[in-house]
Structure 1
Amino acid sequence: MDIYKANLTGLLGLCASLYAGQSWFVDSTASRIERKDSKTTESKTVKLQAAASTRSLDFLAVYALVMAADWLQGPFLYSLYTEEHGVAPGHVPMLFATGFVAGGVSASFVGSAADRHGRKLACLVFCAAYAASCVLTIASGSLPVLLAGRVLGGISTSLLFSVFESWMVTDFWEREKYETSPTGEFSEEAVEKKYTKEMADAASARLSHTFGRMGTVNSLAAIASGVFSEWVVAVSGTRKAPFVASAALLAAAFWLISTKWDENYGEPDEKEDGGGVMPVLSDPRVLVLGLASTLFEGSMYLFVFFWTPALKDAAQLASSSSSAPTDLPYGIIFASFMAAAMAATLTFNIVTAQLRLVRCVTLLLGLLGAAEVVFTLLSSTTALASLTEQHIFWLFCLFEGCVGTYWPCMGYLKGQVVPDGARAQVYALLRVPLNIFVVAALLLTHDGEYFKVFGVCSTLLLGAIAGVLAMVVNEPDLH
């Protein structure tokens, strides 16, 4: 399978080139913004840049650890259940579905609890709960114990994809508005008066870049986790080793959060005056983004479950007329997918280095369209018959490129339309329909029917495209 090694090499080379280009574009844009801001002294600019850089690194270090801890578990969870714990294959979908159900149920309260009691505290709870999930997963082959591990894993996933981003966005704007006050006045009224549109645009560019860096860090963590998990299993001789490593990373993240982060909360007054979270969820922009996230992320999770059999069937079909082996290098293929995602994230950073180059909402529409094309081709039996193994592989890479663009793009857009007071709660509640969608698809799908799942994803993405298209037309102020 040398072709897959060549594919990975080429994708990594593309990532290296885009990284070099990103450095030039972002640095030149930052210089342009600084020249415009004539009211900010050079010494203060340097201090603010140093403070922002330190704060960003503190967050990204934790983000890298928690995402790597999550990625470490994925490749070997199924085989750990079936081959080391002896779980019947028919029970494995139930275990996975339990995790998604727990995630959906917990989403109704973990976000509001984080807004009320603190996002930093919620992040610490995540680290403890996910580490406990790892312990339960490797401790015993007893089905009740494994189910308890999946429940904790589902709750932890709801926290992972809501409270960390909520903490970062709130922390960014709190520091941005107060630390960039050109007069040095730190009262809220003074900041609002002096916070010009140019400063707001510059801050938006920095926040967008932070989301881009999060995507890059996530991709690097995934690639490194895939390689490391293969190595540690080979060295230790057990599939439990990645889960032990995951717990160790979570312990390190717990320490960094507790020592480096400040606490932030939702705004009680905003929540009381606005009538709670329902007015936010009734905002058409939030509903459209919620629909898009449910359908796209649901398609992504289903892709994670079904890319292996789809590519394996294509390889077996190709080998039926030749003597080529059918074993696929899944680790190399997974790393290639992550490299494709990272290349897309780096491209996002370059494109959004200048806000007026393209709107994030337009990018979201484009990536939904590209994902629609991928799933349409993969769901058509006529198209599948004409596609080779490498064609399917590159379609999968295209979808992973959409994923790499989606995370920073959606994160930035939600940061614009969701108020700070209920941010974690809204982010968590938006995951409820996602979990329902994935559980239903898993329970209704049988072996060998992945093309039907891809067809459902293709159909549902059309609805997301229609909603986002309407938002592009009707929301000219939404970047």
Structure 2
Amino acid sequence: MEIYQMNLAGLLALCAALFVAQRNSSTSAESKPEEKDEKSKAAAAATSQAREAAKASQRAFLIVYALVMGADWLQGPFLYSLYTDEHKVAPSTVSTLFTTGFVSGAVSGTFVGSLADSRGRKAVCMLFCLLYSGSCLLTILPGGSLPLLFLGRVLGGVSTSILFSVFETWMVADANWRGAAAGGDLSRVFGLMSTTNSVVAIASGVLSEWLVDAAGTRKAPFAASVVLLLTALWVIMVNFRENYGEAAASPADKDADASKSASGGGGGKTLKDVLTDPQILSLGLAGTIFEGSMYLFVFYWTPALKSAAAAASASSAADLPYGIIFASFMAAVLAASLAFNLVMGRGLVRYSSLLLGLMVASHLVFFVLAREPQPKQPEDGGSGSSGSTEQRTFWLFCAFEACVGAYWPCMGYLKGRLVGDAVRGRVYGLMRIPLNLFVVAALLVSSSSSGAHGAVFKVCSSLLLGASGALMAMVLNQEGLP
């Protein structure tokens, strides 16, 4: 298994180089002398307190974001193997468990956004911490009772719907209220989120591997997740300022939203206007296909690599270092997010054009994965060809994860610019419904067949190509896109 440690070391070295390049770029930009007259100096002094408050709010959000994503990432490498190896759940039932989570996410997408807009995004973020803690505890209860495991997946689906809609909604609304979204600042925040997420994911992969080795059970990362979630709950209670959507917005929130509308951000549009906007529909389609492919990847990378590893050697494929492999994937995400900050900081490409490029690249990755031969045990006991197949599959997975690393800040910025604060929670929640339904359909179709990952990757490739066409039409026909 030393090859995977070497892979991780190489990816981390790449991340370090990109981080140094980013720091040098920031230092160079800050060192440029600026001449200010007295009036400019007075204006800067007058806004310094507001800027410090905005930075404090941003730091609190990033701390919470790191904690909740850490709680999520800790479980990722071992959820599948926990079900099959410790709870002794049949693979077909595992597929049903995953499907249950996505159905729960689709159903909850119809109301979590509206709930956050009307009752407060801070309150729903706190609710997430409690629900996800419950999901973790139900997953690791002794005995592996199927009804409790299914209930855990239901809570997990609702929690995931909140995690990927309400937290971002709160951040963008808070940034708009504080005036921190002008120019490229919102892009920088999303870049920091992606970088933070990647660093946390790498650490979580290594930590989860250590926890499993130390405790002797795959349940240990789930228990650690509960600790992180309760810590996040406390930080949210102490540091988050509540904000709302259109129905329950405070005057300050409405003023900020009106200002965004005047600047072309779409803040004054109604929910119907937003959902019938061709730009939003194109982004929604792209997000559904890309993120759906990502979730299917999460489900199928373990059996795909297990299949390749089983053919590559006589040792058990269960010995794969899942935490190290997962950390390598996240290192690829981190490298891409750092590259995103460098590229977008220089304004080298439009966000919409970058998103199109990421969709095309992801299509090509899945196209190649779908055509990978299913590894077979060599009759002569050799493992050269199969070993090459295993490593080639691993690096193709890393390439897709690199696309993911640039996708999140790019898509987050575009949605932040095109969707107004007043209906942001509802729109973000509704945009996750087709995503969950897409994943559910794919899991149901493929759950009955062995080696299904090849067929699923082929479908993902085709759908990504179609979504690329829709995005290309948007880029060519819509003027003024970011």
Residue of structure 2 equivalent to 1:285: 279
**Aligned counterparts of 2:164 and 2:153: Cα–Cα separation in 1:** 17
What secondary structure sits across from 1:431 in the alignment? helix
Residue of structure 1 equivalent to 2:351: 360
Give the alignment's TM-score, normalised by structure 2. 0.87
Question: Where do residues 456-467 of structure 1 align in structure 2 (5 Å cutoff)?
Answer: 456-467=459-470
Return the offset for 1:313: 3.2
Give the stretch that moved more between structures: 437-446 or 74-83.
74-83
Q: Does 1:437 align with 2:438?
A: yes
Return the offset for 1:474: 2.5
Pick one of 162, 169, 178 that aligns with 1:166.
169
Contact 1:68 1:246 in 2 (8 A): yes
What secondary structure sits across from 1:167 in the alignment? helix
Return the offset for 1:384: 8.8
**Aligned counterparts of 1:299 and 1:350: Cα–Cα separation in 2:** 26
Return the offset for 1:357: 2.2
Q: Does 1:304 align with 2:307?
A: no
Contact 2:209 2:322 in 1 (8 A): no
Return the offset for 1:105: 0.3
Contact 2:8 2:327 in 1 (8 A): yes
Structure 2: gaps of 5 or more residues: 258-266, 377-384
C-alpha spacing 1:315/1:35, structure 2 compared with 1 (3 Å): farther
Residue of structure 2 equivalent to 1:180: none
Residue of structure 2 equivalent to 1:102: 104
Equivalent AA in structure 1 for residue 294 of structure 2 = M
Question: Where do residues 43-192 of structure 1 align in structure 2 (5 Å cutoff)?
Answer: 43-44=45-46, 46-140=48-142, 141-176=144-179
Give the alignment's TM-score, normalised by structure 1. 0.87
**Aligned counterparts of 1:239 and 1:395: Cα–Cα separation in 2:** 27
**Aligned counterparts of 2:430 and 2:9: Cα–Cα separation in 1:** 40
Pick one of 328, 335, 350 that aligns with 1:336.
328
Residue of structure 2 equivalent to 1:348: 340
| Number of residue pairs aligned between Structure 1 and Structure 2 | 450
Pick one of 221, 224, 239 that aligns with 1:242.
221
Equivalent AA in structure 2 for residue 54 of structure 1 = A
Contact 2:50 2:178 in 1 (8 A): no
**Aligned counterparts of 1:221 and 1:211: Cα–Cα separation in 2:** 15
Deviations 1:433-473 (Å, cap 9, x if unpaired)?
Answer: 11111111111112202111111011001111111112222
Q: Does 1:294 align with 2:296?
A: no
Residue of structure 2 equivalent to 1:233: 212
Residue of structure 1 equivalent to 2:390: 389
**Aligned counterparts of 1:112 and 1:422: Cα–Cα separation in 2:** 8
Equivalent AA in structure 2 for residue 84 of structure 1 = E
Deviations 1:376-411 (Å, cap 9, x if unpaired)?
Answer: 111125799997332222211111100000000000
Return the offset for 1:24: 2.7
Equivalent AA in structure 1 for residue 272 of structure 2 = M
Deviations 1:239-265 (Å, cap 9, x if unpaired)?
Answer: 222111111111100000010010001
Pick one of 172, 184, 188 that aligns with 1:209.
188
Contact 1:368 1:465 in 2 (8 A): yes
Pick one of 214, 220, 223 that aligns with 2:202.
223
Return the offset for 1:94: 1.3
Deviations 1:349-395 (Å, cap 9, x if unpaired)?
Answer: 111113x3211111111111111110111112579999733222221
Identity %: 58
Residue of structure 1 equivalent to 2:18: 18
Deviations 1:211-245 (Å, cap 9, x if unpaired)?
Answer: 01101111111111111112222222232221111
**Aligned counterparts of 1:161 and 1:150: Cα–Cα separation in 2:** 16
C-alpha spacing 1:39/1:150, structure 2 compared with 1 (3 Å): same
Coordinate RMSD, CA, aligned: 2.6
Structure 1: gaps of 5 or more residues: 178-199
Deviations 1:64-121 (Å, cap 9, x if unpaired)?
Answer: 0000011112222223323333434332211111110000000000001101111101
Return the offset for 1:317: 4.2
Contact 2:307 2:375 in 1 (8 A): no
Equivalent AA in structure 2 for residue 73 of structure 1 = Q
Return the offset for 1:334: 1.4
**Aligned counterparts of 2:131 and 2:477: Cα–Cα separation in 1:** 42
C-alpha spacing 1:144/1:303, structure 2 compared with 1 (3 Å): same
C-alpha spacing 1:339/1:33, structure 2 compared with 1 (3 Å): farther
Q: Does 1:378 align with 2:379?
A: no
Contact 1:377 1:383 in 2 (8 A): no
**Aligned counterparts of 2:33 and 2:226: Cα–Cα separation in 1:** 42
**Aligned counterparts of 2:369 and 2:27: Cα–Cα separation in 1:** 40
C-alpha spacing 1:262/1:150, structure 2 compared with 1 (3 Å): same
